[in-house]
Amino acid sequence: MSGDVGLFGPDSVTWKLHREPILMLGGLRSLYLQALHPRAVAGVAQNSGYRADPWGRLVRTSDYVGTVIFGTTDQVDKAASRLRRLHAGMTATDPRTGERFRIDEPDLLRWVHVAEVESFLTTAVRAGVRLTPGEVDRYYTEQLRSAELVGLDPATVPSTAAEVAAYFEAVRPELALTRDGAEAALFLTVPPVPEHWGGLPLRLGLTLGPARWAYFGVAGTAIGLLPSWARKIYGGLGWPTTDLAAALSVRGLRAVIRGVQSALPEQYRVAPLHRAALDRAGHP
């Protein structure tokens, strides 16, 4: 290797997985899943400006994840330090008990971490990314480094597929659809469209209609990819046919994305952070 490849590197399962643009859908799935934890979603609702600036928050979150995956060691350390400082000053009130709590409580950080990495992995596999059982476990183990960045003790974080399944089974009694969770899910499903994006007027009739319906399809696929027990909490169906429809949809979406990628000029086929990481690793 010719440079600093950060926490993971080109031989990691993490790089293999996160080079897939379909993981953007995994990020959306994780938000639906995270919203089912009453304290976690209350912390977001009471501290985040996601309603006022949803697209800006999405970009900032995506930038953080991209930096952790593909950034240099220094870039990762700086991004994680900023995040920990931000979380350290935040508290929220449990709407059910009135108790005041810190949003960087280990239980909450662990829930967000596991929901996120499991969503990335599940979305990729359901979309057709081939991973062996050993690679699946390696991904979870590699992601202990991401968990440590936000302040978690890696020894307390699930690090294999079996441990993740056991964690979800243990935490399910704590999950419920609260008012904050329902509002967050509705917001994710019907987000406001900005006046402009990258200088383009998004609220023109010819742009808004098709884009809105396409996004409904994406959001529906993210919900369909949730575990059946999570869909039931939302009031949906846990039928196997829903799982099959979601799998077909996400595979089709991945094929569309790959088709668009292949039509782009070469310099635009890889995200900038990923391209820079490949350059540092000496990969063409």
pLDDT tens-digit series, residues 132-188: 999 999 999 999 999 999 999 999 999 999 999 999 999 999 999 999 999 999 989
77 contacts 7 by C-beta, under 8 angstroms: no
The token duo for 111 is 């829930």
- pLDDT score of 84 more than 90: yes
- pLDDT score of 279 more than 80: yes
pLDDT, position 55: 66
Region 84-110: mean pLDDT is 94
| Antiparallel, parallel or unpaired: β 200-201 and 196-197 | antiparallel
pLDDT, position 1: 44
- Round to whole Å and give the CA distance between 42 and 48: 10
Region 55-66: mean pLDDT is 83
Sign of CA dihedral 220, 224, 225, 230: positive
pLDDT, position 169: 98
Chain segment 202-247, per-residue pLDDT in tens: 444 434 566 667 788 889 999 999 999 999 999 987 777 788 888 8
CA distances from 279 to 41, 270, 276, 283 (A): 39, 12, 5, 6
Residue 121 binned pLDDT confidence (cut-offs 50, 70, 90): very high
* Poorest-pLDDT segment among 23-37, 53-67, 106-120: 53-67
- Round to whole Å and give the CA distance between 177 and 254: 30
Region 109-135: mean pLDDT is 97
- Round to whole Å and give the CA distance between 76 and 163: 26
The amino acid present at 68, given as its one-letter code, is V
Count of beta carbons in the 10 Å neighbourhood of residue 29: 30
High-pLDDT (> 90) share of the chain, %: 65
pLDDT, position 209: 60
- pLDDT score of 70 more than 90: yes
- pLDDT score of 100 more than 50: yes
Region 86-106: mean pLDDT is 93
Contacts (Cβ under 8 Å, ≥6 apart) of 103: 43, 47, 87, 90, 91, 92
pLDDT, position 90: 93
pLDDT, position 267: 75
Phi, psi angles (nearest 5°) of residue 200: -95, 135
109 contacts 150 by C-beta, under 8 angstroms: yes
